[in-house]
Chain A
């Protein structure tokens, strides 16, 4: 348990989702184990002791976005409802407590929220993630809430502007100090084509790590594959992209074995992309600006309500097509297949980016970094335009 706590404490700092020194953990075996910042870990333990769960993360996020979203929420509301895929599929919504609601027994209040949800936000404290099965699961739920809140804040600011006095300064600091440019500089890629399974596995593990390190995906999401000799080598479901050693399934094209039942839920998408492009490498991440921009649609009077699955249009973000479709067997595979051939890139509405490499991973990686850089630039261009136009202007396009 101790080792696990140390491991995820390091991860939360490395992925820059939590503020240094403001991470607390609790895990219960036959007794409670705590680690990290004492006030947060004590609170996490207090919450955990009231729930039938194994682990809990309580941490202050490195960016104030979750907190600001709570304060921007209309009076009387008690949950954020981000529209990205991770929320829609796994979180449903993100319940929160305002500072004034914490009362004399904050742990009891927070436990009540987590009795029904995987993660929650407490104003003035941070994000709580609960893990029923493992501590890693608590970390993932923290990470999901963080990701969803990040993307939602980007979108809300673009649509509604700053509503609170301190927001502008916080956002400026985010833009100038927190953000680093997505790039492939300084990374080593094996030139393809790769044939030897050992080499393929090693390269997949390296690329997975790069993708996390360069902020193109949070560790527990995304997936990656390479195709050689009639077999797709693909990361397993619920695998951390920065820890792929031993977590890659070889899946034969002809389905003669079902051992790949543990392969990523996006196996169908990878298969369709290989069919459509003849590429050898596929990378799939959830870079935040691309996810946010994919959901900004200027269409007036459109009858489609559930855009993430029902939008029939192919929109363009620069030269990258955006399509709808839900994960796994939910339709994404077919819609990505239709569009990815032209540029080797596709964005899925509210979800993430698929890119391909014809020989090796370098092309795919550079393409993904490029899509995110372009989306970031476009985001700030629109934001700046919106602010120049003044507060009366609320449309994003």
Chain B
């Protein structure tokens, strides 16, 4: 691991204790473990670490595992925060001879960190400060694979991203602003060291098993799946299921969504397949001019949530967010909440100028840069922020999937769909369908899925792989790489440790049961019924009952607190 102190400019390579790797795997787990101690500091405190951690599968041909997690504390949510990202950056980190980079301190001047297998140096980056992500990436790409912040991160936008040069984002929680507060514009990596595989035959067998399951999964390799259409393949499905958040979640069906469906994007932009390093699925789509095309969440939130059905305007909004380095979901949802407060959603032409105002904190942009919760409170309309723990909800209306409703609230990083990802069984029927309009069993399902995904985020593999494969095959891949025995149950137990550690940090930072709650709208207003589908408001009492069950299953008290205040001390 490389430890960098930007205040002093000192850098050293240190060994990660093997017992931490076996207890936390890597990625999210390792990063969360390394956050212990500084977890109570302000996200902008120079001593707050920003951790880039790969996992044990990274650098091998294990499908979808050229990923890393970036971990710190979120300035948007105040929670422990991690985000998994693909591209080529994680692979290069491994190839530079590193498993992780831990960055602390604050540089006096803007700098970039350059790392190769031969060594590392801190480069002056005054000339890059103020530049867009694209400009920064182009300036540094001669040195390798780049992760950079844009003006949003420099200016402390609370939902600013760290962007990978290939267009992948470390999104949602504002880690770009944490990086910006350190005066760190970019990290650039190069190297070509291979990752050893202990048992090649075992690894190859497991890899073949994974690939067979990918091919058997209609969501992954089906003719209507994400390999063909990218995640916008979900647009038509969410429309049909009547759970596409529309007009700041006042409705759940948007008649204009056909304008930005998977097939519509393909027809307008070509949508060439593009993937993270070595990924067979290649769900990223690129326009014929090379621009990365937007994901499902992005098209739906810049679309339905803001009542916009102009595909080109949506794609331009995505481009702007990528260039300024900020999160599309939070940006679009904040604009939508703001639109509702003033009685008018932004017109397609107003969006990009507003995004620029946010990135540079100009005019109304200064308020919008705080995210929807702070913005709505400042306007005296707190109920308009459709967020949990200040994180704006993505494009799955919780009234249309009750596991999702619960998972938004139990997620340790705020209203995120990816922690437990119940969309997989509630909507996509993988690995099996569950009843989306029932709370029955959901507390247990969500708890298990959170643990599984914490392990997945620590390996680090892509969530989409699990539309086909399961931990069974990934445990085998891990066994092949390490030569040790791994089974799904053991990985789930690691995941459980990670989830509880995050929750413990959050509890120490003042989070309580009342923070595990949805905006009141979802308990009061119905969604848009039709086609034989009713979308009633969520039953608050039943929701509360299931939340209590979740706490009990997690071994917590009914108020969501830890019965054992020394929990953390007992963890490895």
Contacts and interface: CB of A to CB of B under 8 A. Distances in A.
Interface of A: 1, 27-30, 51-54, 88-90, 92, 114-118, 131-137, 140, 236-239, 247, 251, 255-265, 267-268, 271, 326-330
B445 interface: yes
Contact of A263 (B212, B222, B434, B449): B222
B291 interface: no
Interface in B437-477: 440-441, 443-445, 448-449, 451-452, 470, 472, 475
The 10 closest A-B pairs by CB, nearest first: A115-B489, A116-B487, A30-B549, A329-B221, A259-B236, A328-B216, A52-B492, A330-B215, A329-B215, A30-B552
B233 A261 contact: yes
A51 B233 CA distance: 35
A271 B224 CA distance: 13
B212 A132 contact: no
A255 B223 contact: yes
A350 B481 CA distance: 31
Contact of B217 (A30, A136, A328): A328
A89 B209 CA distance: 7
Nearest to A257: B236
A261 B219 contact: yes
B236 A136 contact: no
Contacts of B430: 237-238
Interface string B480-503: 000000011110110010000000
B235 interface: yes
A242 to B, nearest CB: 15
Interface string B293-335: 0000000000000000000000000000000000000000000
Given A236-B429, A261-B234, A327-B216, A1 B440 contact: yes
Contact of B429 (A89, A238, A267): A238
Contact of A53 (B440, B448, B493): B448
Nearest to A251: B224
Contacts of A140: 432
B489 A263 contact: no
Nearest to B471: A132
A351 B378 CA distance: 62
Contact of A260 (B224, B445, B490, B492): B224
Interface string B60-72: 0000000000000
A258 B235 contact: yes
Contacts of A255: 223-224, 263
B43 interface: no
A118 to B, nearest CB: 7
B432 A136 contact: yes
A116 B475 contact: yes
A262 B429 contact: yes
Contact of A265 (B222, B444, B490): B222
Interface string B395-435: 00000000000000000000000000000010111111110
Contacts of A251: 224
Nearest to A90: B213
Contact of B224 (A54, A90, A261): A261
B548 to A, nearest CB: 8
A256 to B, nearest CB: 6
Interface residues of B, number: 56
A28 B433 CA distance: 18
B260 to A, nearest CB: 12
Please classify the interface of chain B as helix (H, G, I), strand (E, B), loop, or mixed, using the class held by over half of its residues.
Answer: helix
A258 B496 CA distance: 35
B434 A133 contact: yes
Interface of B: 209, 212-213, 215-219, 221-225, 229, 233-237, 239-240, 261-263, 425, 427-434, 440-441, 443-445, 448-449, 451-452, 470, 472, 475, 487-490, 492-493, 496, 548-549, 552-553
B216 A263 contact: no
Given A257-B236, A268-B222, 19 more contacts: A1-B440, A30-B552, A51-B489, A54-B448, A92-B209, A134-B425, A134-B441, A137-B431, A140-B432, A237-B218, A238-B429, A255-B223, A257-B261, A257-B263, A261-B218, A261-B233, A267-B222, A327-B216, A328-B217
A52 B555 CA distance: 14
26 contacts: A28-B444, A29-B444, A29-B553, A30-B443, A30-B548, A30-B553, A54-B441, A54-B445, A89-B213, A114-B489, A116-B472, A133-B448, A133-B449, A236-B433, A237-B429, A238-B432, A255-B224, A257-B263, A258-B233, A258-B261, A258-B262, A261-B218, A262-B219, A267-B218, A267-B222, A328-B218
A115 B486 CA distance: 10
B432 A116 contact: no
Contacts of A89: 212-213, 216
Contacts of B225: 261
A131 B452 CA distance: 14
Nearest to A31: B552
A30 B444 CA distance: 7
B299 to A, nearest CB: 13
A30 B493 CA distance: 18
Contacts of A27: 441
A263 B429 CA distance: 10
Which of B213, B215, B216, B440 counts the most chain A CB atoms within 10 A? B216
B216 A238 contact: no
Nearest to A115: B489
Given A116-B472, A132-B448, A137-B431, A88 B212 contact: yes
Nearest to A333: B223
A220 to B, nearest CB: 8
A115 B552 CA distance: 23
A344 B31 CA distance: 57
A88 B209 CA distance: 8
A267 B221 CA distance: 11
A168 to B, nearest CB: 37
A52 B497 CA distance: 13
A233 to B, nearest CB: 14
Contacts of B218: 237, 261-265, 267, 328
A238 B429 CA distance: 7
A29 B443 contact: yes
Given A133-B425, A260-B224, A268-B222, A29 B441 contact: yes
Nearest to B433: A238
Contacts of A136: 432-433
Contacts of A264: 218
Contacts of A92: 209, 472
A258 B472 contact: no
A258 B440 CA distance: 29
Contacts of A330: 212, 215-216
Contacts of B212: 88-89, 326, 330
A116 B222 contact: no
Contacts of A327: 215-216
